[in-house]
Amino acid sequence: MIIKSFEISKIELKKNQFFLFYGENEGFKKQVIEEKFKKFFIENNYTYTENEILQNQKDFLEEILTKSFFETEKLIIINRVTDKIKDLVEDILEKKIEDLVLILNAQILEKKSKIRNFFEKNKHTICVPFYEDNNQTLSSIANSFFRDSKIPIAQQSINLIIQRCRGDRLNLKNELEKIKSFAKNKTKIEIEDILKLTNLAENYSVTELIDNCLAKNKKKTINILNENNYSLEDCILVIRSFLAKSKRLLKLCEDINNKKSVDVAISSFKPPIFWKDKEIVKQQISNWHYDKVKKLIYKVNETELLIKKNSNNSVNILSNFIIEQSTISNN
């Protein structure tokens, strides 16, 4: 069955054992797993990747079936899940293991995904989509944090923090903790403090850069690149934001392939695409198709690895990648 991410706090673990978490909001998924699950399985929680499980299926099944291996209930988290693991999961469900809670963690899963359909339709499993956070949600998290921490800060400063975290809940939490440490001997946090403490340069325009790149606005893309002085940390944030935008474009292309019009695909997208961004998103859709976006996502992941391995050349690697994507034809 399907539930919304904010409803998961109401779930009773004793009555529900099998969960599929999918979507791009890794920060929210990590928070839910830490707060809802791991605190009840302090010792007996184990994390694997899908490949590790599939390459050692026999050993894995023996471990979860052997009572002596786990003295009490156990939590098993499997990351990077795809449809390949569906048959094994069905087998585990049929065995009716009482002392097991299983979480499958996947990125974006298409509507036709076998594992997604299985978890959505089975009454003994729970499927939870984790969509990207919008600014309103992030602002609520930040306001609660500063209120609970008794740190005086203006809403304008909070808005700046949200802007510079680029829609990433994990980035936001890291920045909030940094500000909390800084605020111990301060009576008030000023805008200037936020600019110094947060990682991004003042003229940093990630959204504009990536939107224009995907829309094939080469001249504008190069202008934005030239206006910014990126650090290694900035480069990693840019490429991760590029990944999120690419995944959004992939889903839009999928919807259009499923006979939705461009306008309907954009207006029905979750989380909502703001009205001011709709025209440039239309440009992106006109310049890309589904298979090309899938290849792009693979290239984005490759580029992030290159940036990390070649930190001294990170700006050139990022710039070359972005200019290439703003130039090449995908039709």
Question: In whole numbers, what is the pLDDT of the chain averaged over residues?
Answer: 84
> pTM, whole model, 2 decimals?
0.54
Q: Which residue has the tokens 């690697």?
A: 317
Q: How many whole angstroms separate alpha carbon 180 and alpha carbon 184?
A: 7
Strand order in the sheet with 74-79: 45-49, 74-79, 100-106, 18-22, 125-129
Q: Which residue has the tokens 């200019």?
A: 323
Give the pLDDT band (50/70/90) at residue 331: low
- Per-residue pLDDT, averaged over 92-112, amounts to 87
Give domain limits for the chain: 5-129, 135-197, 206-327
Neighbours of 211 (CB within 10 A): 20
Helix axes 314-327, 206-214, angle to 10 degrees: 40
Give the residue, 7 or 196, on which the prediction is more confident.
7
Question: 3-state class of 121 per DSSP?
Answer: helix
Q: How many whole angstroms separate alpha carbon 29 and alpha carbon 276?
A: 29
Judged by average pLDDT, the poorest of 161-165, 251-255, 289-293, 310-314 is: 161-165
Q: Give the CA diameter of the chain.
A: 64
Cα radius of gyration rounded to whole Å, the chain = 22
Q: Are 77 and 33 in contact (CB under 8 A)?
A: yes
Q: How far is CA 94 from CA 119, 172, 282, in A?
A: 14, 41, 46
* CATH code for the domain defined by 206-327: 1.20.272
* 130 burial level (CB within 10 Å; 0-12, 13-18, 19+): buried
State the DSSP H helix or E strand holding residue 254, giving kind and residue range, or none if neither. Answer: helix 232-257
Counting every residue written for the chain, the total comes to 331
Architecture of the CATH domain 135-197: Orthogonal Bundle (1.10)
Residue 120 has pLDDT above 80, yes or no: yes
pLDDT tens readout for residues 9-34: 777 776 788 999 998 788 888 888 88
The pLDDT value given to residue 202: 40
Residue 317 has pLDDT above 90, yes or no: yes
Two tokens, residue 236? 């990693």
Residue 294 has pLDDT above 90, yes or no: yes
Q: Are 42 and 149 in contact (CB under 8 A)?
A: no
- Per-residue pLDDT, averaged over 124-148, amounts to 89
- Per-residue pLDDT, averaged over 91-104, amounts to 87
The CA-CA-CA angle for residues 77, 83, 86, to 5°, reads 70
Annotation: CATH topology of 5-129: Rossmann fold (3.40.50)
